[in-house]
Amino acid sequence: MKVTQRIDRDRPVFSAEFFPPKDDVGEAELWRAIRRLEPLDPAFVSVTYGAGGSNRDRTIRTTARIATDTTLVPMAHLTAVSHSRAELRQVVGEYAAAGIPNVLAVRGDPPGGPLGEWTAHPDGLTYADELVSLVRELGDFCVGVAAFPYGHPQSPDETADLDRLLVKIRAGADFAITQLFLEPDGFLRLRDRLAAAGCDVPLLPGIMPLTTMRTLRRGPELSGAAVPPALVERMERYAEDPAGFRTAGMDVTTELCARLLEEGVQGLHFYTLNRSTATAELVSRLGLGARRPVGAVSGPAG
């Protein structure tokens, strides 16, 4: 089943993202998380690709196992970093052979990270829209792309960033998932600007449960936006209290998700870090998934 078939325009859904495990211990941990989330009926689950395609084989193997051994709808990531066109075609062919119809096509970060200098493979691709087109040429895939509520770190401004997103969508992308963020306004502005441009593909907000101080500190690094001062003040009091930080952080995340649902988002995409507890708790709080009917949000604990 394709991701777009699982995004219900009348009922909000959730999805979850995992990364391929590095060893047997990590694989056992990943599958515990997958099995715990499976009964909650996520719309789909995705598996990341790894910097420079470093985890390509594990990504293919993990995603294929999800397709064959679970009831979940899988989506595999694909990046253009360090890959020739021939290698990219091979990977897409392996996805097709494994029965994986959904691909998230992202250019990927250069080896130095988001701000590193991009150097394309001599026989590779430079932009994500080229990758979208390549996947489209190779089969009947449902293709997603990345979006940035505050603009990609290398974009000169929000207008240029929106233009790049529109190019990816016009190349054939069916939906977009955003980088994580900790306050809703940037996402909502991006959604409204897409709508004003005549684009109605689903835009899913990327949410990382705020459970540790490290998550809070990584927000600006990954989202390109400073953490709101009020949020910093609210959370810094728990800097030396991990349990207290998690409790308060889950309240913050619930409030963020509730606001997005109130604004009519079609789904929430959770970055799980291969854990399931926080995601399952948020799904329960928000009345998503299979175990609880959709209804009023159970207000954040105070």
183-207 per-position pLDDT tens digit: 999 999 999 999 999 999 999 999 9
On whether residue 295 sits in a domain, the answer given is no
Residue 291: pLDDT band by 50, 70, 90 thresholds? Answer: very low
Q: What is the pLDDT of residue 296?
A: 35
Q: Please give the average per-residue pLDDT across 174-189, as a whole number.
A: 94
Going by C-alpha positions, the residue among 75, 5, 73, 39 that lies closest to residue 289 is 39
On whether residue 291 sits in a domain, the answer given is no
On whether residue 207 sits in a domain, the answer given is yes
Q: 172 pLDDT exceeds 90?
A: yes
On whether residue 161 sits in a domain, the answer given is yes
What Å distances lie between residue 169 and 16, 158, 162, 175, 187, CA to CA?
A: 22, 16, 11, 8, 17
On whether residue 94 sits in a domain, the answer given is yes
CATH of the domain at 85: 3.20.20.220
Q: 294 pLDDT exceeds 60?
A: no
Q: What is the pLDDT of residue 114?
A: 55
Residue 10: pLDDT band by 50, 70, 90 thresholds? Answer: confident
Least confident of 17-21, 23-27, 112-116: 112-116
Instruction: Read off the tokens for 25.
Output: 């211990």
Q: Please give the average per-residue pLDDT across 220-232, as a whole number.
A: 80
Q: What is the pLDDT of residue 54?
A: 54
Q: What is the pLDDT of residue 293?
A: 37
What is the 3-state secondary structure of the chain? CCHHHHCCCCCCEEEEEECCCCCHHHHHHHHHHHHHHHHHCCCCEEECCCHHHCCHHHHHHHHHHHHHHCCCCEEEEEECCCCCHHHHHHHHHHHHHCCCCEEEEECCCCCCCCCCCCCCCCCCCCCHHHHHHHHHHCCCCEEEEEECCCCCCCCCCHHHHHHHHHHHHHCCCCEEEEEECCCCHHHHHHHHHHHHCCCCCCEEEEECCCCCHHHHHHHHHHHCCCCCHHHHHHHHCCCCCHHHHHHHHHHHHHHHHHHHHHCCCCEEEEECCCCCHHHHHHHHHHCCCCCCCCCCCCCCCC
On whether residue 298 sits in a domain, the answer given is no
**Of the listed 17, 94, 130, 183, which one is catalytic?**
17
Least confident of 93-107, 195-209, 214-228: 214-228
Q: Is 94 a catalytic residue?
A: no
Instruction: Read off the tokens for 201.
Output: 């593909």
Q: 3 pLDDT exceeds 60?
A: yes
pTM for the model: 0.89
Q: 295 pLDDT exceeds 80?
A: no
On whether residue 277 sits in a domain, the answer given is yes
On whether residue 302 sits in a domain, the answer given is no
Range of the structural domain that residue 95 is part of: 3-286
Number of structural domains found in the chain: 1
